[in-house]
Amino acid sequence: MLWLLTKQKAWRTATGNSKYIPNSVWQWIQGASVSVRFDVSTSHPWLAVSSDCLQVKEAAARSTTLSNNNQRFAEWPSVLGDTIITSGRHYWEVEVSPSGSWRIGVMSQYAPRQQKSTMSPSRGYWTLWKGSSLWACTNKPTKLQRAAMPRLIGVYVDVGEGQVSFYDVDRRVHIYTFSDTFKHSLIPLFVCLDGDTVLKIIPADMSVTADNKN
């Protein structure tokens, strides 16, 4: 815990070498693992969520049968997780397809969903964005020039410390940390920005732990 507070929150992967996470710290992070699945009631009509609510991709055709509600995304092709984060520490992992474009992170419970607003901390979003490069979606987006493109992303949230962090799970390196004060509950966020994108949540009991990492 002290290592996270003194080192990680000051790191910026846009410059410098990759930041490797020590084994004991990695175990501490993964000790906050929670079960997350997609909340279909929030899914944009362009998206197709698997029956087990662990995989999402762009649908072959826009759904015309979904009910309209103010919880559903109307513009961004997004879906939320089914976990409401009000306090404490939370960690989950997402497998991302090698091609495609996506955003992954968390959003404020009261961030806008019905319009295509900028996904930035000032609007209640703390996310990574993968296009042709990897970006941290700060209020002025930060290009992560030295970050290798990950296959498996770990998301770590500590509400009390005001921290949202992202990791390359396979390499066990830190990607980026947002430091902020969260005024409202947070919800896991997943955005598929094109038809090549597939996002898959890894169940907590199948995550790559420090003990079984090759």
Q: How many residues does the chain have?
A: 214
Q: Total domain count for the chain? A: 1
Summarised one tens digit per residue, pLDDT across range 69-118 is: 677 887 789 999 999 999 999 999 999 998 899 999 999 999 988 777 78
Q: Let me know if residue 10 belongs to a domain.
A: no
Give the pLDDT band of residue 15 (cuts 50, 70, 90): very low
Region 149-173: mean pLDDT is: 93
Alpha-helical segments (H) within the chain: 2-6, 23-30
Q: What is the 3-state secondary structure (H, E, C) of 132-181?
A: CCEEECCCCCEECCCCCCCCEEEEEEECCCCEEEEEECCCCEEEEEEECC
Which pLDDT score, from 0 to 100, does residue 16 have?
45
Q: Let me know if residue 15 belongs to a domain.
A: no
> Whole-model pTM?
0.88
Is the confidence at residue 200, as pLDDT, over 80?
yes
Is the confidence at residue 55, as pLDDT, over 80?
yes
Summarised one tens digit per residue, pLDDT across range 45-54 is: 889 999 999 9
Whichever domain contains 93, its CATH number is: 2.60.120.920
Range of the domain at 84: 21-65+73-204
